[in-house]
Amino acid sequence: LLGDLGVNVNLAPVADVSTDPNDFIYSRSFGQGGEETAEYVVTVMEQFQKQKISAVLKHFPGYGSNSDTHAGASIDKRTLAELKNRDLVPFQQGIDEGAYAIMVSHNTVACMDEKLPASLSPAVHKYLRENMGFTGIIMTDDLSMEAIAGQDFGLEHDVYVQAVLAGNDVILCSDYQTAYQSILDAVNDGTISEERLNRSVFRILSWKCMLNLM
């Protein structure tokens, strides 16, 4: 159906691990453990790719039992060991099987970065690249959600520019005119380097090639 409509990217599957019906993310998740969720993620991803549709695994590094980031800030206080043994399993399996794109959540994951939400955190992006070996597209969740738009992080730059500096290749936002102008201004004043832009542009063009769009 998506292919017939001309849609070539789907922001799915949800790779979050949740087995507790009380979790916010439970109804959107596979509802099983890490290994079962990993198998589900890879199966869905492979079927998408056969249809020339790119899957986007979300929400890195795993939602867990955290609260709804559409409505406000959420702090994940779990240890890195807990994430590795459970929530990171589906993402790592997806990466190992050739995932093209991953969406990063707005949860503040304390074991990686106590200050910034994952979507704006250079440390979280570095972990995804260097520790998990991901070379594809990283994108934010919607920056208009209250976990971002309703918070003051004391940033030197606005959230759109920070998202680029953190390492995102694609930015999801509702106010795209403001985001575009903000990033353009940051490029023109040297805050965002051409080299930084080129890295993302290269990944995006490579993504298009893999989808036979170029």
Which residues does residue 60 pair with via DSSP β-bridges, in sequence order? 104
Which phi and psi angles does 10 have, rounded to 5°? -125, 125
What is the C-alpha separation between 6 and 143, in angstroms, rounded?
26
For the chain, what is the total number of helices (H) and then of strands (E)? 8, 6
Q: Which of 23, 76, 141, 169 is catalytic?
A: 141
Q: Note if 141 is an active site residue.
A: yes
Of 113, 167, 111, 179, which Cα lies nearest the Cα of 142?
179
Please indicate whether residue 185 is annotated as part of the active site: no
Q: What share of the chain is helix, strand, coil (3-state, %, to 5)?
A: 45, 10, 45
Ranges of H-type helices in the chain: 34-50, 80-82, 88-96, 122-126, 146-149, 159-166, 176-188, 194-210
Bridge partners of 75, per DSSP, are: 108
d(CA 154, CA 169): 23
Q: Are 102 and 57 in contact (CB under 8 A)?
A: yes
Which residue out of 68, 70, 96, 175 is catalytically annotated? 70
By annotation, the residues acting in catalysis are 70, 141
